[in-house]
Structure 1
Amino acid sequence: MSIASSGDNTSEDVSGYAVQLEDGIHPTQETMIGISRSFNHFMKKAEKKQSKNLLKLVEKSTSFEGVMNFDNYQVQLLFSPRLANTWSLPVVSLTCIAITFPKISKGKARSLFTSVGEGLLYTGMVEECLNTASEYADIQKETVTLWHEVQDNKKWLENSLETHAFRRKTLVEILTWFVNKAQEIVTEITNKGFNANNPPKKLIAANSMYRVAQTIMLDYQGNNGSISEKELFDLICGMIADILAACLTNIPLVIMKKCNESASEASVEAAAKLLGSTRE
C-alpha cells in the first residue's frame, strides 16, 4: 500500500483499507477511532501475555533445517501410501523422546515441555486456518489428544514416559524402545487392514514416532555413537525450534484470514490478540 511509505502524510483517508461496511455506507471518523482504540486495547492486553518460554526456544533456531531433518527418507515406509504431516505432530513426537533422557536435568526437560506447550497453541491455529483438508484435520485432532495424554499422564499411546523407566537405558536403547513400540502399533493396525482415506488416529501417531525415532537413530549411528546425551538433547531441541519457527512465519497470514473471512467482532478481536501475543 502506498500509505505505508507516505511518511508525514497523515491526512490521507485510509478508511477504505480498514473496514468495509454495507454497500454505499462509509464509516465516520468517530467509528474509525473507536475501532482503532478497540483493536489496540485487545492487542496491548495480549502483549502482556507473551509466550516467553516459546520465545527462548525459537531463538535457538538459526535456520529451517530441522523441518527437513526430522524425517529421513532413507527410513523405510511401514505401509503405503505415505501419510500427510503437520507442524504439530513431529514436534510432539520429538518432545516425547527428548524428555525421557535420564541424564538431562528436570529443569531443562520441564523448560522444553513448557515451551512446546506454548508453541502448540500457535501451530494449532496455523493448521486449523491454513490446512483445512480432512486428512489434516484428523492429524490435528490426534495431535491434540496425544499431547493431552503426554501432558496429563506423561504417557505416549498408553506407554509411560516417566524418567525412572529409562534410567538404566543407553541412548540407543531409548531410541530402539520408541522405534519398537511404534512399529508394534503400526503392524498391529496394518495387519487388520485400514481405510487409507481415513487411517486410524493411533496409526497416525505411531507412524510419526517410528519415522522420527528411526531418523534420530540414523543420525546417532552416523556419528558412530559419539554424540553425548546432552548433545542429542540439544540437537532435538534445535529441530523442534526450527519446526516451530518455520510454522510461526505463517502467523501474519492467519491474522489476515481472520480479519478477511469474517467481519464479526469476535474474529477481529481474535486477530488483535494473536498479533499482540506473537509480536516478539
Structure 2
Amino acid sequence: MPCLSEITTSNIDMESESGSIAELNLSRFVLLLDGESKLPKRTLKNIFRQADKVIELGEKQQPQNLIHLLNIFSNFKGVREFDSSQVPSLHSQEPPNCWSLPLVTLTTITISLPNVANSKKATQLMTRVSEGLSLVKLIEKTLYESNELVNNINAAGVSWVEVALYMKWQGMDLRKLSLKCKNSKNVLQEFSNNAERTIGKFKRTTNGFLMENPLNWPANIIAANSMYRISQTILLSYQEENEQNDEGLFQRLSVMIADILAACFTNLARVIITKCHRNAIERREKSVHEAFLLLGKTTQILKLLQQHEWPSLDHYNVVYIEEWRAFFSKNNETPMTSPSTSGDEAVKSLISNEEQVTIIVG
C-alpha cells in the first residue's frame, strides 16, 4: 500500500498551466488558523508522514483469526443462501436483516453441532467471528443513516453476549444441546422448535399494534425469528448422507459465515473515507486518526476482497444485506463486476474525493 507522504509528495510536484493542481486540492485538507494564507509544503508532508505512522501501526494489528476465516469465502453465495424464501413465515411481515444478526445466528448453530460444541473448532470459530463482528458493528454504526435497524442490531448484540460468555442461546445450553442430540438435524430442529415456541407465545400475549410492525419487536423475538428462518433453511438443504458426521455441515456453514462477512467488508473503504470528513471539527482529529488506523488494520482484508468480483450494486445499496439478497434474487446469474475501491484506492481517494479530509493544524 502506498504511503500518503509518497502520494502527496508526487502530487505536490505536479504542475499545470494554472499552477499546482495538487496544491489546490490539498488545500481543502487543512483548516488554517487565522492569518494563515497557506500551509507550507514541508508542513503538509510532515502531516502525511504522521498519518503513515498511524497506518503502519494499524498494519501491525491485522485481525489474523478473521483473515483465516475470510480465506474460505466463495463469492458471496452465503448472502443469498442463509435464508430461503421457501421457509414459511411465522408472521405476515418479516423484520429486515442487518449484517450482524445472521452472523450471530449462523455461528450459534455451527458451534452447537454434535462433536463441535466442546471442540477446538468451536473455540476457533468463535474467536474468528468475534473479530469480524467488531468490524461489522463499526460498519453498521457508521453507514446506517437511520435507526430503522436498531432493534435488529441490538438483537444480534444481546444474543452474541449470551453465546460468547455463557455458551447459551435464549437459555438453551449449547454444550448440553450438542451432547443430547444424535446428529446435526436434531440440533437444527431443536433450535427451530424453540424459536417457534417463543414467537408463538409472543403473538398470543402481545397486542396487535406491537405485533404489526416487526421493527418494533423485542430483541429476543427478532433473534428467535432469525433462528427459526435460518435453521429451517438449513434443514431444507440438509443432506443427511453427506453431512451425518457434522464435518460437512460445519464446513458449509463456516463458508456461509465467511461469505456474509466478506460482503459486509466491501463497505470498509467507505467507512474509512466517511470517518475522515463527517465528524464535527472538534472531533475530527480523533476520527481521522481512527480512520488511518482502520486503514492499516484492514489492509489484508481489502487486498483479499480485491481478488474477487463484486455484485454491481450502487454505493447506497451495498450497505444493506437485504439489498444484496434482492440483487441476487433478481439476477439469477449473479452478474458481478470488478471491485471499485481497493485499499490503495481508498488511500488515494482521501486526497482526491469531493468531500476532503480536514486536518486541524495547531
Measured after TM superposition, the shift of residue 8 of structure 1 is 6.4
Opposite residue 294 of structure 2, the aligned amino acid is L
Residue 275 of structure 2 corresponds to 258
Distance 1:7 1:128 in 2: 34
Q: 1:244 to 1:165 in 2, by over 3 A?
A: same
Q: 1:9 to 1:121 in 2, by over 3 A?
A: closer
Contact 2:70 2:262 in 1 (8 A): yes
Measured after TM superposition, the shift of residue 20 of structure 1 is 4.0
Distance 2:80 2:38 in 1: 49
Residue 11 of structure 1 corresponds to 13
Q: 1:213 to 1:31 in 2, by over 3 A?
A: same
Q: 1:174 to 1:191 in 2, by over 3 A?
A: same
Measured after TM superposition, the shift of residue 72 of structure 1 is 0.3
Structure-to-structure mapping, 1:1-280, within 5 angstroms: 11-12=13-14, 13=20, 14-15=22-23, 16-17=25-26, 19-21=29-31, 25-104=37-116, 106-162=119-175, 164-169=176-181, 170-193=183-206, 194-195=210-211, 196=213, 197-220=215-238, 223=239, 225-228=241-244, 229-262=246-279, 263=281, 264-280=284-300
Deviations 1:6-49 (CA, angstroms, capped at 9, x unpaired): 99666125342461426985333243123212211221111111
Contact 2:242 2:248 in 1 (8 A): no
Q: SS in structure 2 opposite 1:41?
A: helix
Contact 2:152 2:222 in 1 (8 A): yes
Distance 1:132 1:56 in 2: 31
Uncovered stretches (5+) of structure 2, i.e. residues with no partner: 1-5, 15-19, 301-362
Percent of aligned pairs sharing the same letter: 34
Measured after TM superposition, the shift of residue 232 of structure 1 is 0.3
Contact 2:9 2:45 in 1 (8 A): no
Contact 1:39 1:269 in 2 (8 A): yes
Measured after TM superposition, the shift of residue 226 of structure 1 is 3.4
Contact 1:84 1:135 in 2 (8 A): no
Measured after TM superposition, the shift of residue 224 of structure 1 is 5.2
Measured after TM superposition, the shift of residue 172 of structure 1 is 1.5
Contact 1:143 1:205 in 2 (8 A): yes
Deviations 1:199-246 (CA, angstroms, capped at 9, x unpaired): 2111111111111100001010xx355323100000000000000011
Distance 2:144 2:150 in 1: 7
State the TM-score, normalized to the length of structure 2. 0.71
Moved more, 257-266 or 92-101: 257-266
Contact 1:75 1:211 in 2 (8 A): yes
Deviations 1:162-196 (CA, angstroms, capped at 9, x unpaired): 2x432241211111000011111111112223251
Q: 1:55 to 1:39 in 2, by over 3 A?
A: same
Q: 1:154 to 1:224 in 2, by over 3 A?
A: closer
Give the paired residue count. 274
Distance 2:140 2:150 in 1: 8
Opposite residue 76 of structure 2, the aligned amino acid is F
Distance 2:162 2:11 in 1: 55
Deviations 1:98-124 (CA, angstroms, capped at 9, x unpaired): 111222371211111100000001111
Contact 1:182 1:210 in 2 (8 A): yes
Contact 1:126 1:254 in 2 (8 A): yes
Distance 1:134 1:7 in 2: 42
Moved more, 137-146 or 72-81: 137-146
Contact 1:131 1:137 in 2 (8 A): no
Residue 353 of structure 2 corresponds to none
Opposite residue 56 of structure 1, the aligned amino acid is H
Deviations 1:84-138 (CA, angstroms, capped at 9, x unpaired): 1111110110010111122237121111110000000111111111123222122
Higher relative contact order (CA 8 A, sep 6+): 1
